[in-house]
Amino acid sequence: MRKQGMDPGRIGAILAKDLREFSRDRLWMILTPLSLALVTAVFLLLPDGGGSIGIGVYPGSLADAFDVPGAPEVRGTRIIMEGFASEAALEEAVLDDDGGLSLGLALPEDFLSDLLTGDIIQVRIYLAGSLPPGLERAFRSGVREMGYAARAVLEGRDPLSLLPVSIPDLDAVLSMDGNAAGPAPMKVRLRPMVIVMVLLVESLALAGLVAAEIEGGTVTALLVSPATTEEFLAAKCALGILLAAIQAFLFILVTGSLGLDWAVISALLVIGACLSSAVGMLAGSGGRDFIGTMFYSLIFLIPLMLPVFSAVFPGRPPLPVRLVPSYGLVQCLYGTLVRGDGWKTILPHALATAAWAAVLLTAALMVLKRRVRSL
């Protein structure tokens, strides 16, 4: 007798059976919560701000001359001035990697008077050995600007008045999140990257479960029952979406990343979970054991991770990276969680990601259906 249609009750029964099998798999029951806990812990331990830069000044009495308005914090990074009683002590502190100093300035004793007279001032600069060599020119220019600013303060003028060009709202122009308060901290910019990684890595668990059912003969036993191939595939698709979306949502809740646009973020998580489910079924249909399944999974995961890492670095990624299915998802999460964009802004990327997810899900279901019927 031919089986008719798709029964939601049978799909639910297969899904419940899959969840029980997943809970009995010690490997994934240990790795899944452990990996999620480790990723969340590392994210929570990341610093919120841009850190600080220590600058030593000799003579120590001149340290306050560089403490001009606007200098204590530059684009989220605090500048800490420290005075020294001798140039030898300054040099030793800069050379000490644990001293906390990135730059040392050895100034003449009559530095302030020379600023007012306009004489040429010789300044010796000490750079920490841990800094890249290319920063030497940048620090030289910075010292010159600090001298101009200190001179303006001594004359009772605004330090910016000596500059030939005026740029209003400098932080708003240069920031990565369009916020005049400054650029988004690295911890905020890493949040979309971690969410996408959590979604994609969960495909490994689904791939392992699918491969185990195919090789263990569970699929054959199910098809002898009233369940159809379509119901089996629907249950596997629902399982992958459920596992990926729940883990990503837990990470968002624990790290406080939900924000005000919870509906937008939830929809993006579902789209990303569909993409992850497709990858898991494709990898599981090709793998025959644990090693084979991992190999097939990495073939898909490595390209999908490229947009994740490219989002952290400035600049537009190359065309091959923009064509990767996960690129739109990364852009949507970055726009929502970092810049605060709404549906109107992220809609093109969201539609592109949804289209990719639909294509990959269709391909995964076709490949898995063919594999099941060949048993």
CA atoms within 13 A on the CB side of 308: 19
pLDDT tens digits, one per residue of 178-192:
343 445 667 777 888
Q: Could you give the CA distance from residue 286 to residue 275 in angstroms, rounded to a whole number?
A: 17
pLDDT confidence band for 159 (50 / 70 / 90): low
Distances (CA, A) of 96 to 31, 92, 104, 106, 248: 41, 6, 12, 17, 43
Least confident of 126-130, 280-284, 342-346: 126-130
Q: Which of 215, 208, 216 is nearest to 291 (CA)?
A: 208
Distance in angstroms (rounded) separating the CA atoms of residues 276 and 145: 51
Look at residue 13 and tell me whether its pLDDT is greater than 90. Answer: no
336 pLDDT higher than 90: no
Condensed to tens digits (0 to 9), the pLDDT of residues 209-268 reads 888 777 777 777 776 777 788 888 888 888 888 888 888 888 888 887 766 678 888 889
Domains delineated in the chain: 8-46+185-373 (no CATH), 52-174 (3.40.1710)
Q: What is the mean pLDDT of residues 301-325?
A: 83
Q: How confident is the model at residue 375 (pLDDT cuts 50, 70, 90)?
A: low
The verdict on pTM exceeding 0.85 is no
Please report the pLDDT score of residue 172 as a whole number.
42
The confidence band for 68, taking pLDDT boundaries of 50, 70 and 90, is very low
Arithmetic mean of pLDDT, 29-41:
82
- Bridge partners (DSSP) listed for residue 127: 103
One DSSP character per residue, 37-57 reads HHHHHHHHHS-SS--EEEEEE
pLDDT the model gives residue 7:
77
Phi and psi angles of residue 92, each rounded to the nearest 5 degrees, phi first = -65, -40
**What is the DSSP code string of 79-123?**
EEEEE-SSHHHHHHHHH-TTS--SEEEE--TTHHHHHHHT-----
Cα(300)–Cα(200) distance, integer angstroms: 10
Task: List phi, psi (to 5°) of 129.
Answer: -65, -20
Q: What is the mean pLDDT of residues 26-38?
A: 79
- The larger pLDDT score, comparing residue 226 to residue 325, is at 325
272-291 pLDDT per residue, tens: 999 999 988 888 887 777 77
* Selection from 52-66, 86-100, 138-152, 239-253 with the highest mean pLDDT: 239-253
- Rounded CA-CA distance 171/181 in Å is 7
Report for 26-35, 92-101, 119-128, 315-324: range of highest mean pLDDT? 315-324
Question: Binning pLDDT at 50, 70 and 90, where does residue 133 land?
Answer: low
- The answer on pLDDT for 370 being more than 90 is no
Per-residue confidence (pLDDT) for residue 349, from 0 to 100: 92
Quote the CA–CA distance of 19 and 209 in Å, as a whole number.
Answer: 10
Strand partners, 57: 83, 105
- DSSP-derived 3-state class of residue 55: strand
Q: Average pLDDT of the chain? A: 77
At residue 48, the pLDDT reads 64
In the chain, the percentage of residues whose pLDDT exceeds 90 is: 7
Structural contact between residues 65 and 111, judged by C-beta atoms closer than 8 angstroms = yes
Tokens of 118: 């306009």
